[in-house]
Amino acid sequence: MKTILVAGGAGYIGSHMVALLIEKGYDVVVVDDLCTGLWPALTGAAKVRGGDVKDRGFLDRVFSEFSIDGVINFAAFSLVGESVTAPLKYYDNNVGGAVSMLTAMKNHGVDKIVFSSTAATYGEPEKQPIEETDRTDPTNPYGASKLAIEGLLKWSDAAYGIKYAALRYFNAAGANTDVDIGEDHSPETHLIPIVLQCALGKRDHVGIYGDDYPTADGTCVRDYIHVRDLANAHLLALEYLDKGGQSGSFNLGSGDGFSVKEIIETARKVTGKAIPAVTEPRRAGDPSILIASNHKAGEVLGWKPERGLEEIITDAWNWHQGHPNGYGQ
């Protein structure tokens, strides 16, 4: 049985990754400082160690305690708006944490890492759908910190032979109702849970930030991917590296785009609720359209998203109904 270290495993995507690894028979070690993660999100037989990945002594103890075969690294701050006002915080945590993790891997002879990157590495795209070879020019420190880590991974591969898969997510959403885990952020900034909070009566309305974009209905278009499909991509990336696959970056998205209005309409259909929406001024820095080309992930990793928008929203709605206050209830 292989032992996989999941950093940030108590977070939204990390907890879904842990659940899948356990389901597939892996031995799982979770490290998380609970800065944004939540212990109730962890299910099953994972071994959990609380601590900060920037703490090299802590990581050294974890790598000494367990025989780690590979790492999946989700540990990061990820609020775009906050990153603009606190760039030092984001570079210190995200890049600093990655340096600490790669140092521990080098010192303990671990040579495979799947890294949680982001579509924010691209910035304002030059074309749609976005391909991995397109220009990377982040428009915020969050995206810039993730791109810096991708550079660090490239040079660590060249110097130390640490193979990596950097997975550039688009918009993760949904839940795993089989093991009763879902999305619980504070504050919540993601559209689908905000819409569902409105359906639950936790919010008065959903804000639509601009309806004058050059799209079919005037609202921003984004690519949504089910969190379970996302977790599966990480597993395939891990298996790819284990078989001797070469390092690289991969987009993870559905390849389809849905507007803000389409999300709200689909949520109304799924929930049977009115979900009032109010048009508000545009937010600075919101691109009109962001859609992934997932061709490379399909061709190289054998990955194909299996769940569409309605299933994403249905799974999320089922979880939020049972947890109207997140993991607090």
Give the list of residues 6+ apart from residue 166 with CB closer than 8 angstroms, or none: 115, 117, 149, 150, 153, 248, 249, 250
Q: Where are the alpha helices (DSSP H) in the chain?
A: 12-23, 56-65, 80-85, 87-90, 96-108, 141-160, 191-199, 227-242, 260-271, 295-296, 309-322
Please name which of 213, 215, 226 lies closest in space to residue 286, comparing C-alpha atoms. Answer: 213
The values of phi and psi at residue 165, to 5°, are -125, 115
C-alpha–C-alpha distance, residues 142 and 272, integer Å: 36
- Helices 96-108 and 141-160 pack at an angle, to 10 degrees, of 20
122 carries an active-site annotation? no
Measured distance CA(53)–CA(96) in Å, rounded? 9
| Annotated active-site residue in 12, 90, 142, 240 | 142
Element (H, E) at 208: strand 206-209
User: Coil, strand or helix: which one is 211?
Assistant: coil
Structure tokens at 96: 């600093």
Q: How many CB atoms lie within 10 A of CB 150?
A: 19
Chain CA centroid to CA 210, Å: 25
CA gap 224, 310 in Å, rounded: 11
Give the C-alpha separation, 31 to 247, whole Å.
Answer: 24
Q: Rounded CA gap, 29 and 5, in Å? A: 5
Identify the bridge partners of residue 207 per DSSP, sorted by sequence position. 278
- Rounded CA gap, 55 and 101, in Å? 9
As annotated, the active-site residues are 142
